[in-house]
Structure 1
């Protein structure tokens, strides 16, 4: 695909959209670490210098893809979390934790981007790009908090934002550990003792969030008893 020079704002937006779409398509085929600006430019049909007219770096492109993926995940989570049953609070906490884990696991591109967010994607970008991304992240945290409080009204806004932060951090840390390289898979198979270290993404996220939610509930109940 070859583009002519963009001369209108509409054409420039079309170029930006094409770059983001191409980056997303590449992420369905390879991990974040293998995405290069040269290959992205080649696939989108623009010179690398022209891609840099629209995004200041590879990382800036991938941060926008991450923000879009987070929005899609929140839509999924909002829908499935409506099915949390009115059981005792501890059981609702487990249901919600399991739903969060399942909806995240269903979006491997999002999880891969989250795992690269702090150590890679937020490094080679300007303050303006980071500010835009972090504001989008804050909006995501607020939406997660809303969903948490809807399922567990026993918690307050501060508790719910804490859960939102733990959700993002746990997903980012769990994904690379639960998706080992071929060499690591072979090592796990070769030594059963080492193999015990491999944990599923769903298990790590569900257990971590269940413990976080039930701990916050217990803390809230304790404060109520003292009052």
Structure 2
């Protein structure tokens, strides 16, 4: 079902990817899809988790401990460059607040929270390695929230014509600002 969902998301807007469409693409009855994934929101959040873990594995593999002086420019570029070829992850990050709000009241919220916490911790670990600096627990959370805000904002800006932006450039620049701010806070502590 994840493969069918990926194929649909490559061709359609996320709002058009319904459980019925997923069932048709997978060649299953809608009831079978529900039985296996629980809900559309659960399926999309599980897909986000899968995409996030793949991105973090790549980011981790490419991140090295810094030499003298942390280079936020290089790390921000690496983050933006590894996110750019992952439009599905960017889309799912953008819609994740809506998915979480409409998640059925089953064990799914607990599972999704666990996925988010695990991925957030892994992202913070990679960034800390790349900068050679430890962040407070609060700033680790702000790092993840800030990155998600950047992805969401750049996606929204890219879809309008009045103030067009280059998503990779805006992502890189905004992530660098975020990293510079977190480093400044860490240096004050």
- Give the TM-score normalised by structure 2: 0.88
Larger of the two Rg values belongs to structure: 1
Residue matched to 2:59? 77
- Cα distance in 1, alignment partners of residues 20 and 130 from structure 2: 45
1:39 to 21, 27, 36: 21
| CA–CA separation in structure 1 for the residues paired with 2:125 and 2:38 | 33
- CA offset at residue 149 of structure 1? 1.2
How many residue pairs get matched? 188
State which drifts further: 132-141 or 115-124.
Answer: 115-124
Considering only aligned residues, what root-mean-square deviation do their CA atoms show, in Å? 2.0
Q: 1:86 aligns with which of 67, 74, 82?
A: 67
SS in 1 for 2:165: coil
Q: Residue 167 of structure 1 aligns with which residue?
A: 147
State the Cα deviation string for residues 161-210 of structure 1 (Å, max 9, x = none): 422221123213322322x2xxx4xxx3xxxxx3xx11122222222221
After superposition, where does 1:12-31 map in structure 2 within 5 Å? 19-31=1-13
Q: In 2, Cα distance between the equivalents of 1:59 and 1:104?
A: 22
Per the TM alignment, residue 87 of structure 1 is displaced from its structure 2 partner at its CA by 5.1
Higher RCO (C-alpha under 8 Å, 6+ residues apart): 2
Match of 2:179 among 202, 213, 220: 213
- The answer to whether the Cα contact below 8 Å between 1:73 and 1:104 also exists between their aligned partners in 2 is yes
CA distance in 2, matches of 1:215, 1:49: 48
Contact 2:84 2:168 in 1 (8 A): yes
Where does residue 108 of structure 2 map in the other structure? 129
Cα distance in 1 for partners of 2:187, 2:32 equals 58
1:147 to 109, 120, 126: 126
Under a length normalisation based on structure 1, what TM-score does the superposition of the two structures give? 0.75
For residues 7-53 of structure 1, give each alpha carbon's deviation from its aligned partner in whole angstroms, at most 9, with x where no partner exists. xxxxxxxxxxxx12211222222221220111111121111122211
User: In the aligned structure 2, how far is the partner of 1:122 from the partner of 1:201?
Assistant: 26
Instruction: Tell me, yes or no, if structure 1 residue 116 matches structure 2 residue 98.
Output: no
Distance in 2 (alpha carbons) for counterparts of 1:177 and 1:81: 28
Offset, 1:127: 4.1
CA distance in 1, matches of 2:140, 2:39: 34
Unaligned runs of 5+ in 2: none
Give 5+ residue unaligned stretches, structure 1.
1-18, 189-193
